[in-house]
Amino acid sequence: MSNLKHWIWLTQRRGIAGQAAVQILKHFGSPEQVYAADRGAYETMGGLSSTAIRSLLDKSLDRADQILGDCDRLGIQLLTLQDSTYPERLAAIHQPPMVLYWKGRQFAMDEEVAIAMVGAREATPYGVDVAMRLSAELTRRGALIVTGMAQGIDACAVRGALKMGGPVVSVIAGGLDRVYPWYHKDLYEDVAAVGTLMSEYPPGTDHKAGHFPIRNRILSGLSVGVIAVESARSGGTLLTIGHAIDQNREVFAVPGPIGAPMSEGTNRLIQLGSAKLILNADDVLCEFVQRFPAKLGRKPLLPPAAAEQRLEDMAPPSGDGPQPLPQDKNQPKIREKTEYLHWAECKDILTDDQRDILLAMDGGMLRADDLVERTQIPARRVLSALTLLQVQGYVSEESGKRFQAVVKLKME
């Protein structure tokens, strides 16, 4: 139990997050050794801010004890980065979560045909129908749906999988004891009963705007493929697709009506060749049959007629209509022609890589290799960021595989 205390202690340090936390763990070898180190050891490591060092020098385990007590009371399990059952897929991403809190059924994720489904919260009736049917058919055929718990496409993906009698893995952006949105209490309970609720945040953590884009890397990290059902030209769906491209996952997109706002992102991904156009579950599963013959070759959970009847009987509840979430309140509108883009207004829809690339492109046309050299960002991440910037309309591709920014990013 002391080992878990030190893991939790490390994840609660201020000024340490993402790759910095992973680097600290690699440097010292274990959370216990990080805990036992003194100021000199922290300063010798280098790269730590004064805030981070002060936080590391706070050796109180009271907060860790409280979190462990809450987990015991709520039936929440913990999985650490160094546990043998930690998914290798997730451990291999750029910033793997050091601790995962989970409730329900534990899956051997590396053996699952895990397919993440993401899309717009303000889903159209077309998107709702497609998400439910696609999720249901993928589940019936042996795939494991991974998604969030937001309104719109997330909720439809969950309901479609559950209706087919299959489990779901839902990764949420707050504590497992905090239902968000509140009217999804039934979904939380159903997923925990037959699947898995998962989060990198301890019990009691509210769903904050900044948590959602961070959470998205886990959705794609757990999966072998990611499907975008509906998406505007910016937002969380495209951030997840960016993570998927960076993590070398298969990317799929459902086409939508030309000119429809909620199909601009998905149609553009298809046009750029960044996502495979799909019309049904076969278009997805054909990419994985040879890798997972035992999973995809088994008898479907339900025969086609029964599956179709269940879908016809299922309709989204009235409370699942569009309601803007916190991170959408101040999201800037994308304009066709924008001369200046202010970082303070767009940091929720642009990643740090996208920001650095826009700054590096100021005033000229560059190839991807040039951007790698200028920014020192790995090539795969540069290509991922360029794809999203093109979808969002901030970068255009010119002749000779050269890229040009059509906006100027202002940092002040």
Output the pTM of the full model. 0.80
* CATH code, 2-69: 1.10.150
**Full strand arrangement of the beta sheet holding 144-147:** 77-80, 99-104, 196-199, 168-171, 144-147, 114-118, 225-228, 250-253, 276-277
Are 245 and 251 within 8 A, CB to CB? yes
Q: What pLDDT score was predicted for residue 327?
A: 39
pLDDT tens for the chain, 412 residues: list them. 458 999 999 999 988 877 788 889 999 999 999 999 999 999 998 888 889 999 999 999 999 999 999 999 999 999 999 999 999 999 999 899 999 999 999 999 999 999 999 999 999 999 999 999 999 999 999 999 999 999 999 999 999 999 988 899 999 999 999 999 999 999 999 999 999 999 999 999 999 988 998 999 999 999 999 999 999 988 889 999 999 999 999 999 999 999 899 999 999 999 999 999 999 999 999 999 999 998 887 666 666 666 666 666 655 544 444 434 343 333 334 334 446 777 777 776 778 888 888 888 876 788 888 888 888 888 888 888 888 888 878 888 887 778 888 888 877 6
Alpha carbons 255 and 160: distance in angstroms, whole number = 19
Q: What is the CATH number of domain 103-320?
A: 3.40.50.450
**Ramachandran bin of 35, using left for φ above 0, alpha for ψ from -120 to 50, beta for the remaining angles:** alpha
The burial class, CB within 10 Å (0-12 / 13-18 / 19+), for 170 is buried
Query: Which part of the chain is CATH 3.40.50.450?
Result: 103-320
Q: Residue 198 pairs with which residues in a beta bridge?
A: 102, 171
The end-to-end CA distance of the chain, in Å, is 47
Residues of each domain in the chain carrying CATH 1.10.10.10: 340-410
Parts of the chain belonging to CATH 1.10.150: 2-69
Closest to 158 in 3D by CA, of 181, 175, 178, 285: 181
Single out the residue of 401, 399, 371 nearest to residue 385, CA to CA: 371
Decide which of 3.30.460.80, 2.40.50.100, 1.10.10.10, 3.40.50.970 is the CATH code for 340-410: 1.10.10.10
156 burial via Cβ count (<10 Å: 0-12, 13-18, 19+): buried
> Is the peptide bond preceding residue 181 cis, with omega within 30 degrees of 0?
yes
Angle CA(51)–CA(52)–CA(55) in degrees, nearest 5? Answer: 85
Using the Cα atoms of residue 293, residue 296, residue 297 and residue 298 in order, give the sign of their dihedral.
positive
d(CA 97, CA 10): 12
